[in-house]
Amino acid sequence: MRARSVATACLIVVFGSCGGSNNNSSLTITPIGSGGALAVYGPTDFKANLVNSDAPITWSVTGGGSITTMAGDHTTFVPPAGSAAETLTATAGDLTATVMIESSPMVLTPGSIPGLTAPVIVQYDAQDIPHVNCAQAIDCLAAQGYLQARDRLFPMEFLRHVARSNLSEMIGVAGLSQDIQIRNLFVTRAGHRVEEDLAAAMDPNTRGLLDAFLGGINAYIAQLQATQGDQPLGGEYLQLPYRLTANDLQPWTEVDTLALARLEQFQLSEGIGEESAYGTFVAAYGPTSDKTTAWIRAASPTTEQAHTLAATGFTSSVARKPLAVKPSAPSMGPWGSQLAQVRDSMLALDGRLRPLRTSVGSNNWVVSAMMSATGVSMVANDPHLGLQYPPLFHLVTMTSQNPSDNLNLAGGSFPGIPGALVGRGANVGWGVTVVGYDVTDLYLETLDENPATCPAIAASVPCVKFNGASVTPVVVPETYTVRVGPGSAGLVDSKTLSLGSSAPPPAVLVVPEHGPIISIDIAGGTAVSARWTGQEGNTQDLKGIWGLNTATDVDSAMASLTYFSTGAQNFVLADDQGNIAYDPHALVPVRNFADARTAQFSPTTPPWFPLPGDGTPNVEWGDGSDNCAAGSGVAAACWIPDAQLPQGKNPAKGYFFTANADPTNTGSNGGGVSDGNSPLSFPPYLSFDWDDSSGFRATRIDQMLHDTISANGTVGLADMEAMQSDHYSRPGKAFVDIIDTMTLTDPNALMAKTRLDGWAQAGYDCPSGLIGSDPNESPIDPTQAVVTNSSDCFLFHTFLRTLLSNVFIDDLTPIGAQLDDNVVQAVKAMLYMLTSDPTNSFCNDAGGASHTCAEQVETALAQAYVQLTTSVSSVADDWVWGRVHTLTTVPLLALVTNGYEPGPFARPGGLFTVDVGNPSQETSSGLSFPYASGGNVRHISLMNAATPVVKMQLPGPERDGPDTVIGPDLLGQWVLNEYFDFAFGDQINSVAVSSQTFTSAQ
């Protein structure tokens, strides 16, 4: 942006004698000055001064910008984004007056960030997103930290307290149970807090970058304390049970950011809830029952399953129908109630961490320059998490003038984390989805309380039995502080409170060979411990992300990702040389007991079930050459080598895609054990249950890419946008194909089948059926095809929810499981039973009538059709999907309401569509199909080095809360799948609406 001094108006006045004027009439415009053009930095009011005339005054502007009114004495000139030269003209009869204007971004009050090595210029676009220009990377990161704190202080502070397991210090006793859980889980086998070990292991360069970022956060906190002191903080803070002030805020430290990063990685990778649920199911129904065969399975038995690393596109996707899980599970009986307790506690924790919990629905893909209509490689990404309001991601661009930094970054990060987790750098763009590696094992421990073999019992610490010996757990003492009032006087030791059975335990107990004990039954002599790769305390994940942010090509990006160890992500990469790559690097345990190539192979202890903790048979991590059980750190022999992990570069088909599904088709359906249907068959074992093992979205993305290339030869930008908003229902196709093979007799079921057959002919689309996003007030779309697809999609989802509820609720309720928490399992099980095991006992009423699975389908079709015709309308066109399929954002904290839950919004899509809208399966909601998760950003980049293009969507304001929204309605645009152009590098100079300079001056 070139500098301008404030000048005066160049004013031209014309005298005339007609139109109600006389020879003494005149027209002038104010403001006026002594010459030159008027410098305008924002909306500016202009007044027309008409003398000796009663002619009406009109206004016009050329050269850019707009005016608020075209008639009257006053108008407000609104400058365009960036810098421009304009002419504002007033006319009254034959009189005219003209002002020459030079508009520039508004200059905001300068800021200060101690420690900057040079001034930092921040320009803001129309979305209020900051674009940071700095002399070197550490200054950009300092500014990013400051801006994150300024824009999203409450989410940062809240999640910091969650991650450091001291939420009760912020919200009171309501946070105590969560603190206890997280302290139990985030401890190393040596008994250290994970984030403390991570800080000690950080390399010097990463430490310098992180400390610069933290300096920016703390600069804002210090300024807030200097200006507000003991005044209550506003916004979301006002809805906490206790008033907090700026002086209650503590400086951010390295361990705060590292703990926050680990918490987010935990939500994206842990398998405690899943394995405890499997164990609970097996304890109830046995390892070899037909229900277990259907419920606990590696993949959906659909006839088309696409895989990231398949050599060719959709038409050659491998058809398969995986059969039963043959390796039997160990006995769960003595630990059944504990596993149920672990499952319930993990579900409760997920419920409290709604915005951070992983949600099936993330998509990404890259297209090489060879297959791109734009002539450059392209990347698209929409990672799915809970749709928090304000949104979980904070967007920024950062450009360093130091060439050695190679920092020209555009993207988003979670507030409190430096750099960008989603976006593009100077040379490389990327997208992320959760991989779903199996990186967690639960161990069923047997206690030893015999003083002769367990000396620790004298201090009331039971030992555990391992390899025939008694092992003393590591004891980690814990104390908790709870807020009961404002200020420091309102913080008390939890021991002083009357908490009864809710009082926290005095210590965390850690089994050195496995990990922390997360459930213990002293009377029963049993315990459950958890081992998760995120409990390793010397990984370098921040180094990996910063290396990705500044990579020069896909090869250097992949080299950097070798440091990204936890919270495994499917990274798809595209560079400005036209290359693409796929790299889901992470620490994945070596499990010789799950590898048929080794002498230790034990098909009776598959790792997706809880494992025996007594050390026999050998079910420990590692290849035996390193003491992985004792856990002195990340030893190479503990983890599967990089070369054996899925990865690829520049495939002949010209694209990679991921959607949380199996990338290889070998991890869940290869050879190696006798039946050829077990994940144990893939050397090495990577996962039993990928994050979305249904495969519906991955297959649809592959199909669209393949079909577009087949039809056009290439993929264009418009194709990428259309794919992100696609709502074709592959689950609908899977079930309708099965229904068409059945002989139905119920008249209502036959009417439903006729509708669904018409839906099949129309293409299984799931539009909202409305013009607009208000589910109640928006008019119905006038296009008949849209109306028909909308109504048939409504019918399908009503049928599916009815079917799943009829079949599974009676079996899940006795073991405390909820259908909403097991939708992927239920859909896979239902498809399996209908195609491979139609008489499975799941389809019978528990303890009651017998039904075949086909009978259950016919019943559900009839019930769904009757429910819609009687509760909605007898006219099928009145079944409008968007009236009932609605999105409502979620607050970060359940205590926070009052404007932080915008919605509901009518949305297209449905279960497992690419534009995901997975609705609730709870029948108690009647004919309502709400959901609350989706793409936390939608991002598309064209990797053109000369004229890069970045398209972006953000589901909410860049700044915190509904009262500080600046610019357009970003959430409203997101709901309608509308992108904004995200200025990259010096593109901001032509679109900035304001600018601000930061210096180190106090």
Q: Give the HSE-up count for residue 129: Cα atoms under 13 Å, Cβ half-sphere.
A: 27
Q: What is the pLDDT at residue 355?
A: 61
Residues 6+ apart with CB under 8 A from 602: 593, 594, 617, 618, 619
Q: How far apart are CA 533 and CA 73, in angstroms?
A: 70
Alpha-carbon distance values, 25 to 70, 97, 112, 515, 538 (Å): 21, 12, 52, 90, 82
Is residue 357 predicted with pLDDT exceeding 70? Answer: no
3-state secondary structure of 468: coil
Determine contact, residues 525/449, Cβ cutoff 8 Å.
Answer: yes
Q: What is the pLDDT at residue 634?
A: 57
- Percentage of the chain lying above the pLDDT 70 cut: 91
Closest to 738 (Cα-Cα) out of 725, 753, 724, 728: 753
Is residue 2 predicted with pLDDT exceeding 50? Answer: no
Higher-confidence residue of 295 and 4: namely: 295
For residue 964, name the pLDDT band (cuts at 50, 70, 90).
low
Determine contact, residues 236/166, Cβ cutoff 8 Å.
Answer: no
Residues 6+ apart with CB under 8 A from 833: 294, 840, 842, 843, 853
Determine contact, residues 507/543, Cβ cutoff 8 Å.
Answer: no
Is residue 626 predicted with pLDDT exceeding 70? Answer: no
Q: Give the HSE-up count for residue 156: Cα atoms under 13 Å, Cβ half-sphere.
A: 31
User: What is the chain's Cα-based Rg?
Assistant: 31
- The pLDDT of 871-899, averaged and rounded, is 87
Is residue 165 predicted with pLDDT exceeding 50? Answer: yes
Determine contact, residues 323/850, Cβ cutoff 8 Å.
Answer: no
For residue 670, name the pLDDT band (cuts at 50, 70, 90).
very low
Q: How far apart are CA 505 and CA 145, in angstroms?
A: 36
- The pLDDT of 814-841, averaged and rounded, is 93
- The pLDDT of 162-173, averaged and rounded, is 95
- From first CA to last CA, the distance across the chain in angstroms is 25
Q: How far apart are CA 866 and CA 869, in angstroms?
A: 5
Is residue 604 predicted with pLDDT exceeding 90? Answer: no
pTM of the model: 0.92
Lowest mean pLDDT among 72-81, 184-193, 712-721, 738-747: 72-81
Q: What is the pLDDT at residue 925?
A: 74
DSSP letters, 56-112, are: PEEEEEESS-EES-SBSSEEEEEPPSS-EEEEEEEEETTEEEEEEEEE--EEPPPEE
Q: How far apart are CA 830 and CA 836, in angstroms?
A: 10
Identity of the residue numbered 757:
D
Is residue 548 predicted with pLDDT exceeding 80? Answer: yes
Cis check for the bond before 110: say yes or no (omega within 30 of 0).
Answer: no
3-state secondary structure of 890: strand
Highest mean pLDDT of the ranges 346-355, 450-459, 666-675: 450-459
